[in-house]
């Protein structure tokens, strides 16, 4: 019989903290690179999901360089149900950052839409102070190396904007990172519950 305290028993996911090593990603005014902000969020989300019974594979657990295709290959090789890549957004230099904030979920294929929607809803519920995200917050048809493969639903989470002072404070604080990890874990659970197991 299923253990109600471990609702994700039997589920296998790959979580991908974006960038790492020589790939810093974006950086906000506080100077902390994206790679160092998304790592603790992703590691904590992995911990929360494991506590619910899921098997979690991580593309990196330290500040190491991992190729884009290697990240997707890990999800394929481990037979993961889902691939979730965690990033933080930034506007290019010269763009006015005012009002551009909040989470955005990128995916390529329609099969990933329910996962993206569940994660977005959880981020908005858990962190209303992030802001609503640009437009609808869902970005289908993304032409990204991580979301193109079809071996499992794959989404890329842009948790917030490093170019927005409020988003940056959340991403850069232990309390904000904990809330983001909790929201990601809640979104995954909601997705599986929506499948009706």
105, 114, 117, 111: which is closest to 142 by C-alpha? 105
pLDDT classification of 33: cutoffs 50, 70, 90: very high
pLDDT of 133:
66
Domain extent at residue 176: 12-86+101-194
CA–CA gap between residue 66 and residue 76 (Å, rounded): 15
Q: Is residue 93 part of a domain?
A: no
Q: Is residue 6 part of a domain?
A: no
Q: Is residue 5 part of a domain?
A: no
Could you tell me the sign of the dihedral formed by the alpha carbons of 122, 124, 125, 128, in that order?
Answer: positive
Note the pLDDT tens digit of each residue in 41-91.
999 999 999 999 999 999 999 999 999 999 999 999 999 999 999 999 988
CATH of the domain at 179: 3.40.630.40
Residue 27 has pLDDT above 90, yes or no: no
Residue 31 has pLDDT above 70, yes or no: yes
What mean pLDDT is predicted for residues 14-19? Answer: 97
Note the pLDDT tens digit of each residue in 128-165.
999 976 667 999 999 999 999 999 999 999 999 999 99
Q: Is residue 2 part of a domain?
A: no
pLDDT of 135:
63
pLDDT of 136:
76
**7-11, 20-24, 95-99, 190-194: which range is least confident on average?**
95-99
Q: Provide the b/e sequence for 71-96 (b: ≥16 CB within 10 Å).
A: bbebbeebebbbbbbbbbbbeeeeee
Distances in whole angstroms, Cα of residue 54 to Cα of each of 38, 59, 177: 20, 16, 21
Q: Is residue 189 part of a domain?
A: yes
Q: Is residue 18 part of a domain?
A: yes
Q: Is residue 56 part of a domain?
A: yes
Q: Is residue 130 part of a domain?
A: yes
Note the pLDDT tens digit of each residue in 98-139.
888 999 999 999 999 999 999 999 999 999 999 976 667 999
**32-36, 173-177, 187-191: which range is least confident on average?**
32-36
pTM over 0.85: yes
How many domains would you assign to the chain? Answer: 1
């Amino acid at each position: 019989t299923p253990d109600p305290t471990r609702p994700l028993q039997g589920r296998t996911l790959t979580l991908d903290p974006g960038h790492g090593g020589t790939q810093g990603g974006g950086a906000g005014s506080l100077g902390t690179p994206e790679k160092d902000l998304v790592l603790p969020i992703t590691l904590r989300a992995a911990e929360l999901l494991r506590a619910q019974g899921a098997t979690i594979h991580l593309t990196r657990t330290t500040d190491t360089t991992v190729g884009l295709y290697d990240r997707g290959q890990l999800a394929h090789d481990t037979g993961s149900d889902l691939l979730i890549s965690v990033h933080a957004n930034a506007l290019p230099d010269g763009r006015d950052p005012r009002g551009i904030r909040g989470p955005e979920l990128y995916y390529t294929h329609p099969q990933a839409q329910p996962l993206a929607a569940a994660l977005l809803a959880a981020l908005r519920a858990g962190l209303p102070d992030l802001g609503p995200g640009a437009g609808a917050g869902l970005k289908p048809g993304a032409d990204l190396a991580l979301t193109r493969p079809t071996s499992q639903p794959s989404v890329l989470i842009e948790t917030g904007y490093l170019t927005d002072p409020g988003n940056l404070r959340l991403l850069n604080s232990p309390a904000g990172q904990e809330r983001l990890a909790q929201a990601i874990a809640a979104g995954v659970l909601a997705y599986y519950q929506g499948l009706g197991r």
